[in-house]
Structure 1
């Protein structure tokens, strides 16, 4: 079989003014180099569209684990691909499925070390592209969910939150509460994705809704939003509650910001007197997490104990619009571009 010599790639045309729109990007066919010594050629099957790209393409934030993108730079992110060519003395073979971070393109040539093999027979390989490992890590490493905990997950209908409710339940939570932007999404979350109650914007203060949903308070908070929701969660926390802060969607959804901050007012007196812990979570601090997550996810999928919700977008030409749609309310669960 002849190897591909070109591949389409999504690049940033210009830094967005406000929230990104499809016209801020280009999709161009480019030459694909032949693999050199130690290199692997992978044809991508799918890649993740994630809100953190807003920060990278808008120039927001400082001391980030990933570089900002400028005009002409290719986008990147988690992807699932198939090996087309690999060194004979290497660990990969043509036909192997791998995950990597060179999404937003149809094919990639890179050193073999940049690809992680998918275990043969893994029940739903596409689930490995999701960002849900961040939810698992935050709930196990940072918040430490215990049997009987009452858990709040903000942004429950996104890539992380749509699985985090299920994960919290599997870890022993007695009640799981979520937040989302529409009643339709709330209904889906309560209808089989681990949530007992989901709060939506209905004109009432968020703190009032949370007090009704968790009258005895919260033990664990996985916060992916910041802003008003974090303020209210601190107000609803029980003594010793553990907060894992793993996102800043309030800032990424704000067209007046650049996606690099999400200010919130929190009651520091309450934090100190109740002994609350608020800690940020990043996967880079837990190099052992990915292997553990893959093992547990594979087992849960085989047993039918967890579901991977996602919205499929067909074709790389629609990828820029899919990114824009993340900030205007489109999709449910992970947004995956299938090639």
Structure 2
């Protein structure tokens, strides 16, 4: 769900080409419908994932919003390392947001020296003012119908049964009184 929103927001902020990742065929379809230009299926072998990252990079990545960390990010970072010594021509900003695929990765030193990779935590530079401004902007886009989310409203008296469910698959649950 967060990735689908990120794709929509990136488009609204003027992003050019957007490449997403996913494992579930329905989610992959939804990410494409949300505006991604391509989605890399993470159920492939590591070699196929690396080849897909390289292929979809085309002219390179400017910003990577990383909700996964773990093995997929490790593979992606390795694809950014040039095979010959060349001057770094562009920076690649990786914003680390989540860790659905793991909380640690081996990080090759060459990735930091030669690829232009810059890694930031999602909270870097956040201020109460920027959070308020961003939240207000998102609410405006929701009101204008520019953002869509799959939401299920559930009465508060059903919270126990909802807590035990496992069928959300990208859906957000909103508890209402």
TM-score under structure 1 length normalisation: 0.44
Report the Cα offset of residue 270 of structure 1: 2.3
Asked if the contact 1:224/1:246 (under 8 Å) is kept, the reply is yes
Asked if the contact 1:319/1:337 (under 8 Å) is kept, the reply is no
If asked which structure has higher relative contact order (CA below 8 Å, sep 6+), I would say 1
Q: Give the 3-state SS of the residue equivalent to 1:178 in structure 2.
A: strand
Asked if the contact 2:20/2:36 (under 8 Å) is kept, the reply is yes
Q: State how far apart, in whole Å, the 2-side matches of 1:331 and 1:306 are.
A: 18
Partner residue in 2 for 1:239: 90
Does residue 227 of structure 1 match 2:70? yes
Report the Cα offset of residue 190 of structure 1: 0.8
Partner residue in 2 for 1:68: none
Partner residue in 1 for 2:162: 319
Q: Give the 3-state SS of the residue equivalent to 1:250 in structure 2.
A: coil
Report the Cα offset of residue 291 of structure 1: 1.7
Q: Name the one with the larger helix percent.
A: 2
Partner residue in 1 for 2:85: none
Asked if the contact 1:312/1:336 (under 8 Å) is kept, the reply is yes
Partner residue in 1 for 2:84: none
Q: State how far apart, in whole Å, the 2-side matches of 1:313 and 1:229 are.
A: 34
Report the Cα offset of residue 278 of structure 1: 0.3
1:111-190 residue pairs with structure 2 within 5 A? 158=1, 160-190=2-32
Identify unmatched segments of 5+ residues in structure 2: 81-88
Q: Deviations over 1:94-137 (max 9, x none)?
A: xxxxxxxxxxxxxxxxxxxxxxxxxxxxxxxxxxxxxxxxxxxx
Q: Give the 3-state SS of the residue equivalent to 2:148 in structure 1.
A: coil
Partner residue in 1 for 2:101: 250
Report the Cα offset of residue 173 of structure 1: 1.0
Residues 250 and 215 of structure 1, relative CA distance in 2, 3 Å threshold = same
Q: Deviations over 1:8-43 (max 9, x none)?
A: xxxxxxxxxxxxxxxxxxxxxxxxxxxxxxxxxxxx
Residues 313 and 203 of structure 1, relative CA distance in 2, 3 Å threshold = farther
Q: Give the 3-state SS of the residue equivalent to 1:186 in structure 2.
A: helix
Q: Give the 3-state SS of the residue equivalent to 2:18 in structure 1.
A: strand
Partner residue in 1 for 2:58: 215
Partner residue in 1 for 2:128: 287
Q: State how far apart, in whole Å, the 1-side matches of 2:108 and 2:132 are.
A: 37
Partner residue in 1 for 2:119: 278
Report the Cα offset of residue 311 of structure 1: 4.5
Q: State how far apart, in whole Å, the 1-side matches of 2:105 and 2:126 are.
A: 24
Partner residue in 2 for 1:336: 174
Q: State how far apart, in whole Å, the 2-side matches of 1:249 and 1:303 are.
A: 31
Does residue 309 of structure 1 match 2:150? yes
Q: Give the 3-state SS of the residue equivalent to 1:242 in structure 2.
A: strand
Report the Cα offset of residue 316 of structure 1: 0.6
Identify unmatched segments of 5+ residues in structure 1: 1-157, 252-261
Report the Cα offset of residue 285 of structure 1: 4.4
Partner residue in 2 for 1:200: 41
| Structure 1 moving runs of 4+ over 6 Å | none
Count of aligned pairs: 165
